Amino acid sequence: MTSFNKSNLLHFGVLAGLVILFFILPTYHVGVLSRVMVMAIYAMGFNLLFGYTGLLSLGHAMFFAAGMYGFGLAIKFGGFPVPAAFVVGVLSAALLALVVGLLALRTAGVAFMIVTLMFAQTAYLVVLYFGKYTRGDEGFILQQAERSLFGLDVTTETGRYFTAFTLFAVCFIALAKLVQTPFGKRLVAIRENEERARMLGYDAGRYKLYALVISGAVSGLAGVSYALLFGYVGATFSTVQYSIFPLLWVLLGGAGTTIGPFIGVLFMFYLIDISSGYTNAYMLIAGVVLVLLTVFAPKGIAGTLKARVFPWMP
Amino acid sequence: MEFGPHLMLASLEGAVISAILVLTAMGLSIVFGVMRVVNVAHGEFFMLGAVLAWYITTLLGGHPALGFGVALIVAPLLVGCLAAFADRVILKRINYDPDRTIVATIGMLYIIQQTTLMTFGPEARPVEAPFNHRLSLPWFEFGENGFAMTWPWGLSTTSYKLFVIGAAVVVLIALWVFLTRTKIGLIMRATQQDSETAQAFGVPVGQVYSWVFGLGAGLAALGAVLVVPIQQAHYLMGHDPLLLAFIVVIIGGLGSLPGTVIAALLIGMSDGIISVFFSPTLAKIIATFLVAMVLVFRPQGLLGKTAP
């Protein structure tokens, strides 16, 4: 079997597995998995920029929050129907990514990280400043009636799981295909050696901007999905912590692999789920994992598997 | 209160903020300058300093000045040793690779913060100032009766706040003497300029890095011990100093020490003054956004040289 077929098989295997899990897992874990899939969309958006293009942003929470608030505010104050609000949410994240990209991509390396961190901090403070509409840290709830998607009730366990699954599947397959296209290959070329990519005639700056906009839009879509499926919109999701999480997930799962982000989120969710049974300082686990990863396994779970066992892995 | 005295009060608050900020930012700046490492855990070393000060003063009891005096020396030393240890165990192993160091220090941030949460608890705890006299300040006015000195109600400060400003100045001068007049300082500057050449001349670069990382953390802890009688010790208190110190270091030019001092004064004073007259959130929004812009259009900062 060619590696192309093998990776297709892997992707559809994961999706099939997720469908089967719904029928065999108890309700609690079905709920956790819906959350994992939504956050995996976020991680995949981050992975496109960090894993494939080699740009480390420490401010992705602003895109997640832009999607979330674009969607939530459009419903709450604009009275938009859900599909239109969905589009508004994703577009506002993409627009924010475009503006941030035009400014921040003038810098590189450490400066890029700090600039994105600062922009995200500004975004967080702006959310707090307009607390009259955003309700600040407290956040606001979207009522059940405000969240029906084409007549489908997403508040039931089944509706939520399969909506999350559909969104996840679409992003998962689309991004896996995207990185196989010439466009995706160019992003990897920029990650590996930007000078050389430029010498070969590729407009590296433009490709980085495209990558950032797509990455921001996918992260925004994750924010929209979260607001849609769990009905909560709050400033917590724009804090620095939520910029760090996707980095953690992607590093843990394996940067620059298609399956890595999902594995990372799944692993981390259960790690925190189990450890929060013992202590309220569960972020300690996140810290220890981050340090151990950077020291011992900088390639993450999927990355290490790819390097050691399955060289065909996408 | 009228505008003039109000402004003076705001500037005094600003000066206290600047004093703490300059110590914290100096630590961050030295670490970046010598090691080219962005230490995201810097704010947590600050927090550790404050928490240790609380433990030491509570443990010793007696007169507040006794505990405070001990804390002023012991807390920065302990934090410095811890940081040097972390450098040895973690940062050295990943070869100070810029991306991975940031990730590792983020990990350290959570480890320190959450360990403090587990041991010290989520409460904010006060440390008593060693001395705290209220000093009324005069205000000079040119009125109908010519030049007059008045004592407006509310225009006052405490002796402790003046002490904080004085202490920061003393530490800064000591640091300057240390870096420019001693052999260790010379070695540090040599490592900063070109670590490979320094190594070739027999400078133990690895050890210097540990020392510098410890020194940087110690400076943050010192700033925290000084601030803890004004602001209580809390496990999340490292967040704001980290962001502010980042802002200062960036505006001043990464690694430029004189730039750091000037920027700390600028940011501290304007933070004090703006948040007295305007909404603190708005002030923070403007400051954070401006810093991002400085970095976008002038990546080397105000006084920094172009990046090598």
C-alpha B56/C-alpha B212 separation (Å) is 25
Domain positions in chain B are: 3-131+204-297
The mean predicted confidence, pLDDT, of chain B is 84
Using 50, 70 and 90 to split pLDDT, how confident is the model at A273? confident
Instruction: Please check the confidence at residue A298 and state whether its pLDDT lies above 80.
Output: no
Domain tally, chain A: 1
Burial label, B149 (beta-carbon count in 10 A; 0-12, 13-18, 19+): exposed
Which is nearest to A211 in space by CA: A169, A181, A240, A234?
A: A181
Residue predicted with more confidence, B297 or A215: A215
In a domain, A290, yes or no: no
Average pLDDT, chain A: 84
Cα-flanking dihedrals φ and ψ of residue A277, to 5°?
-70, -25
Does the pLDDT at position B308 exceed 50? no
What pLDDT digit, counting tens, does each position of A57-93 carry? 888 999 999 999 999 888 888 778 888 888 999 999 9
Query: Which residue type is seen at A137?
Result: D
Q: Give the residue, A269 or A39, on which the prediction is more confident.
A: A39
- Measured between beta carbons, the chain B residues lying within 8 angstroms of A117 are 246
Where does the pLDDT of residue B78 fall: very low under 50, low under 70, confident under 90, or very high at 90 and above? very high
Beta strands of B211-306 (E only): which ranges? none
Strands (E), chain A: 140-141, 148-149, 152-153, 232-233
Task: Write out chain A residues lying below 8 Å of B38, CB-based.
Answer: 110, 113-114
The minimal CB distance from A294 to the residues B100, B112, B291 is found for B100
Is residue B114 within 8 Å of B96, Cβ to Cβ? no
Residue A275 domain flag: no
Q: Tell me if A76 sits within 8 A of A285, measured CB to CB.
A: no
Look at residue B154 in the predicted model and tell me its pLDDT: 66
Instruction: Work out the pLDDT band at B24, boundaries 50, 70, 90.
Output: very high
**What does the CA dihedral B188, B194, B197, B200 come to, rounded to 10 degrees?**
40
pLDDT value at A294 more than 90: no
Structure tokens at B45: 């070393």
Q: Residue A182, exposed/middle/buried by CB under 10 A (0-12, 13-18, 19+)?
A: exposed
> If you count residue pairs, one on A and one on B, with CB atoms under 8 Å apart, how many are there?
111
Q: Is B275 on the interface with A (CB under 8 A)?
A: no
Structure tokens at A279: 């202590």
User: For the ranges A23-37, A236-250, A270-284, B292-306, which has the lowest average pLDDT?
Assistant: B292-306
CB atoms near residue B270 (< 10 Å): 16
Nearest to A258 by CA among A1, A13, A2, A86: A13
Choosing among A55, A56, A103, A110, which should be mutated to test the B contact, i.e. which has the most B CBs within 10 A? Answer: A110
* Lowest-confidence pick of A88-102, A242-256, B67-81, B290-304: B290-304
- Please check the confidence at residue B148 and state whether its pLDDT lies above 80: no
Q: Quick check: is A294 in a domain? A: no
- Tell me which residue of A37, A298, A267 sits closest to A165, measured CA to CA: A37
pLDDT tens per residue, range B128-144: 888 777 777 777 766 66
Nearest CB to A244 within list B94, B106, B285: B106
In the predicted model, is pLDDT for residue B307 greater than 50? no
Distance between CA atoms of residues B252 and A253, nearest Å: 38
In this predicted structure, the answer to whether residue B219 has a pLDDT above a threshold of 70 is: yes
Strand partners, B139: B150
Select the residue from A249, A283, A295, A296 to test the B interface by mutation, using most B Cβ atoms within 10 A. A295
Give the pLDDT of residue A304. Answer: 77
In a domain? residue A182: yes
Helix-helix angle B64-86:B205-227, to 10 degrees: 150
Range of the domain at A60: 27-239
Alpha-helix residue ranges (DSSP H) falling in B89-156: 98-119
Asked if A15 and A172 touch (Cβ cutoff 8 Å), the reply is: yes
- The whole-angstrom separation of Cα B163 and Cα B175 is 18
User: What confidence score (pLDDT) does residue B232 get?
Assistant: 86
What is the structure's pLDDT at B254? 67
Residue A155 has pLDDT above 80, yes or no: no
Percent of chain A topping pLDDT 70: 96
3-state secondary structure of A137: coil
Residue A105, phi then psi, degrees to nearest 5 = -75, -5
Distance CA A54, CA A58 (A): 13
Dihedral Cα B47, B51, B54, B56, nearest 10 deg: -120
Give the pairing type, strands A232-233 and B134-136: unpaired
pLDDT at A4: 67
* Selection from A259, A253, A260, A252 nearest residue A291 by Cα: A252
CA–CA gap between residue B153 and residue A138 (Å, rounded): 39
- Judged against a pLDDT cut of 60, whether residue B124 lies above it is answered with yes
Chain A residues inside the 8 Å CB shell of B109: 287
Determine the residue of chain B that is closest to A285 in CA distance: B111
> Which residue's structure tokens are 């040895």?
B88
Tokens of A128: 């707090």
Render A287-311 in DSSP notation, one character per residue. Answer: HHHHHHHHHH-TTHHHHHHHHHT-T
Please give the pLDDT value at position B136.
Answer: 75
Could you give the CA distance from residue A166 to residue A160 in angstroms, rounded to a whole number?
A: 10
Phi, psi values for residue A121, rounded to 5°? -65, -40
Neighbours of B273 (CB within 10 A): 19
Contact list in A for residue B245 (CB cut-off 8 A) is: none
| Closest by Cα among A225, A181, A294 to A45 | A225
Which strand (E) or helix (H) includes residue A33? helix A27-47
* Six-digit token string for B248: 């200062």
Q: At what angle do helices B239-252 and B3-35 cross, to 10 degrees?
A: 80
The torsion angle over the Cα atoms of residues B217, B219, B220 and B222, rounded to 10 degrees, is 120
Q: Which residues in chain A touch residue B112, judged by CB atoms under 8 angstroms apart?
A: 287
Whole-angstrom distance, CA of residue A265 vs CA of residue A306: 18
Interface of B with A in 38-77 (CB under 8 A): 38
Residue of A nearest to B253 (CA): A111
Whether A286 maps to a domain, the answer reads no
> Can you tell me the mean pLDDT for B244-262?
81
* Range of A130-134, B62-66, B116-120, B139-143 with top mean pLDDT: B116-120
CB contact under 8 A, A121 and B109: no
Give bridge partners of residue A304 from the DSSP assignment. none
| Sign, CA torsion B55/B58/B61/B67 | positive
Tokens of A300: 């993450």
For residue A107, the distance in angstroms to the closest alpha carbon of chain B comes to: 6
pLDDT digits (tens, 9 = 90+) for A180-230: 889 888 888 888 888 888 888 888 888 999 999 999 999 999 999 998 888
B-chain CB neighbours of A279 within 8 Å are: 118
Tens-digit pLDDT profile for residues B189-206: 888 888 888 888 888 888
CA angle (B114, B115, B120) in 5-degree steps: 100
The answer to whether B30 faces chain A, any CB pair under 8 Å, is: no
